[in-house]
Chain A
Amino acid sequence: MSCPEFEKSGLLFISGELEKEEAKAYRMHLRECDTCLALVREYRELFAKTEGLAELSPGPEIRERVLAAGSRAAVKSAAGKDTVFSRLSRALFPAPWMWGIPAAAIVVLMLLLNPFARNSAELDDVLAWNDDFLLESAMIEADIENVKTLTATPYLEEDVYSPVPNVSTLNDEFISIRNGIEDLLQEITGF
């Protein structure tokens, strides 16, 4: 004893999951189909009974264990994300290599303030390098913009930055440049 309409729509009707129009159509069908009407009644009665079934709890030590795991994860994610400083620095310098910009600015400032370095050829070199670095930064930024526009699907900032191919070579370059500056500073200041 069944009806194809019940197989198709009966359960969703009882569960309130039919769209408005579908529910209306099935209600019309119920007026003329005794089979469906009987089945809807039977299923409803059964579902109502199941609401009385008991729920069970695990042992009390399990609650403690799960909550401890939840709090460890919360601490981890909070430490990774939520200090004012980290938020500010992420906003200003979303990619790690961008830290090179303030670093370079500080070096230049130090050199400008250093009386021994004024008018020296080395200072010109450093300033020229600083310009190159900013230029290179701007080019990488343009690359990133390209990647962003080429990516049709929604992206996360992290996803965009990681596939930029020259980040690691840039890092190496940055390290060697930094070493160069340190050498230069040593020469200029004598330390």
Chain B
Amino acid sequence: MGMNDFQTDARLVQSYLSGKQAAFEKIYDRYERPLFSYILKLLRDRTAAEDAFQQTWMQAVKALPAYREQSRFSSWLFGIAHNCCMDHLRRETTRREDGFQADQLDRREHDGGMPDYLAEKNEELTHLARAIDQLPAEQRAVVLMRVHGEIPFKDIAEALDCSLNTVLGRMHYAVKNLRKLLKENIGEDLTHVLS
């Protein structure tokens, strides 16, 4: 999404706030897939993701009259989504009374093979999707917001409510990890094919 979309977003929001229902449908259709992809790939569970996705929109609808155009609509919306996801992970952590930490949730194994949301149209992309899926949540959040939200790093910092340096640092770590994971995953698959 370029600068143009940034401006159309603002116009659509204004139009919706002045009572035009069709403008909301346009906003929704524009963001349905990018936003859901972000949430699903961050939470890695379809039921949880659908919950958080709806919660995001309910909160956005409520907060829209207070939305100010100095922040990009997409980063505003993804910021709400991120908070909904964090709430979900926190609840998940307290629900498991065995002291399971959010960080450990990151490393939990997927039971029964590869989840459907990691299915890609070719092998190279599948490797990439799986590698991103293995990143720690905070690095994954930055990568996914960049990939699916097409949000500039400066706005990601705003959406995640942290400094630009933190965002850049997480991205650098993410790329380092991806480099390693891609090498490992492909190596693994090759040995699997060869044996």
Chain A positions near chain B (C-beta within 8 angstroms): 7, 11-12, 15-17, 42-43, 46-47, 49-59, 62-63, 65-67, 69-71, 73-74, 77-78, 81-82
Contact = CB atoms under 8 A, between A and B. Distances in A.
B67 interface: no
Contact of A7 (B18, B62, B129, B168): B168
A77 B40 CA distance: 32
A70 B120 CA distance: 32
B161 interface: no
A12 B16 contact: no
Contacts of B148: 53, 55
Interface in B19-58: 19-21, 24-25, 28, 32-34, 36-37, 40, 49-50, 53-54, 57-58
Given A11-B168, A53-B125, A66 B33 contact: no
B128 A71 contact: no
Interface of A (DSSP majority class): helix
B153 A56 contact: no
Contacts of B17: 77
B61 A82 contact: no
Given A56-B33, A57-B32, A66 B57 contact: yes
Interface stretch (B86-94, B96-104, B171-179, B187-195): B171-179
A63 B168 contact: no
Given A47-B146, A50-B132, A52-B120, 12 more contacts: A11-B153, A11-B171, A12-B168, A42-B179, A46-B178, A49-B125, A53-B129, A54-B119, A56-B117, A63-B28, A66-B28, A70-B25
A62 B54 contact: yes
B24 A71 contact: yes
Given A15-B153, A74-B16, A62 B128 contact: no
A56 B28 contact: no
B125 A52 contact: yes
- Report, as a range, how many residues of chain B touch the other chain: 35 or more
Interface of B: 16-21, 24-25, 28, 32-34, 36-37, 40, 49-50, 53-54, 57-58, 61-62, 64-65, 117, 119-121, 124-125, 128-129, 132, 143, 146-148, 152-154, 168, 171-172, 175, 178-179
Nearest to B147: A50
Nearest to B156: A15
A62 B50 CA distance: 8
Given A15-B153, A82-B19, A46 B50 contact: no
Contacts of A63: 28, 32
Contact of A69 (B49, B57, B175): B57
A54 B120 contact: yes
Contacts of A49: 124-125, 128
Contacts of B19: 74, 77-78, 81-82
B28 A57 contact: no
A3 to B, nearest CB: 12
Contact of A17 (B61, B119, B154): B154
Contacts of A57: 32-33, 36
A32 B81 CA distance: 42
B61 A73 contact: yes
